[in-house]
């Protein structure tokens, strides 16, 4: 004689199924947010990810890398979702969409998920010369209508000052870039020394989607 499953058994099956569906939905969201970032010199979120993703529970982060640590404490997704720092439908009006003081977070995009990236402080820097090659990691092969690269002017202090548009000088611009997993960009920013911010705007070509990143360099 075949026995009917008990209510407890049915409940366990439904619970397991619900968990599986939730997991699939979560993975789907992660994949949908996979776009790109500046990998060299690395954007702040990408830099934190590459150095701490495998050791995110290490207490050393607080002392060895306090800026990544404060970002992690503020919102862990800022590090894990380093590819999603974007805004849709900006229409080229970047200064209106990304006000002064919020450039490194893309204008507090994603409900302020990246707000910690705007914090001044001793961010880890990448050494560069006055002429260097930047690389965009275009994981989704979006291509670009244009990529604009800015550098802070001499006298700006990233350890104490929030970044504004008036602190920047356009030092590189490339247009009509085909889809590619990596995109090199030649940057020339003479007359600088010490810690500076390289600010990049990537206007993707697949739709009106704009990306904003801060990379910390040492000239």
The predicted model scores a pTM of 0.83
How sure is the predictor about 138, in pLDDT bands with cuts at 50, 70 and 90?
confident
For 184, list phi and psi in degrees, rounded to 5. -80, 145
Average of per-residue pLDDT across 149-161:
98
For 49, list phi and psi in degrees, rounded to 5. -65, -50
pLDDT at 17: 37
With left for phi above 0 and alpha for psi between -120 and 50, is residue 143 left, alpha or beta? left
pLDDT at residue 123 is higher than 70:
yes
Q: How much is the mean pLDDT over the chain?
A: 85
pLDDT at 47: 96
Higher pLDDT, 26 or 162: 162
pLDDT digits (tens, 9 = 90+) for 42-81: 999 999 999 999 888 899 999 999 999 999 999 998 888 8
Q: Which residues are CB-contacts of 56 (< 8 A; sequence separation ≥ 6)?
A: 72, 76, 79
pLDDT digits (tens, 9 = 90+) for 173-184: 999 877 677 789
pLDDT at 34: 53
Average of per-residue pLDDT across 122-133:
97
pLDDT digits (tens, 9 = 90+) for 79-112: 888 988 999 999 999 999 999 999 999 999 999 9
């Amino acid at each position: 004689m075949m026995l009917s499953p008990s209510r407890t058994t049915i409940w366990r099956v439904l619970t397991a199924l619900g968990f599986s569906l939730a997991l699939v939905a979560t993975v789907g969201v992660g994949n949908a947010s996979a776009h790109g970032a500046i990998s060299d010199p690395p954007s702040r979120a990408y830099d934190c990810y590459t150095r701490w993703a495998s050791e995110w529970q290490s207490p050393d982060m607080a002392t060895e890398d306090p800026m990544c640590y404060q970002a992690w404490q503020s919102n862990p997704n800022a590090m894990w979702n380093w590819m999603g720092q974007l805004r849709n439908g900006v229409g080229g009006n970047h200064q209106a969409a990304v006000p002064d003081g919020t450039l490194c977070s893309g204008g507090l995009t994603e409900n302020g998920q990246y707000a910690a990236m705007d914090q001044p402080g001793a961010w880890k820097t990448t050494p560069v010369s006055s002429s260097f090659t930047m690389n965009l990691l275009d994981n989704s092969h979006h291509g670009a209508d244009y990529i604009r690269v800015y550098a802070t002017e001499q006298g700006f202090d990233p350890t104490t000052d929030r970044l504004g548009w008036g602190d920047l000088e356009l030092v590189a611009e490339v247009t009509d870039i085909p889809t590619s997993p990596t995109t090199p960009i030649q940057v020339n920013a003479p007359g600088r020394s010490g810690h500076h911010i390289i600010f990049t705007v990537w206007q993707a070509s697949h739709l009106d989607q704009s990306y904003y990143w801060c990379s910390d360099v040492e000239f």
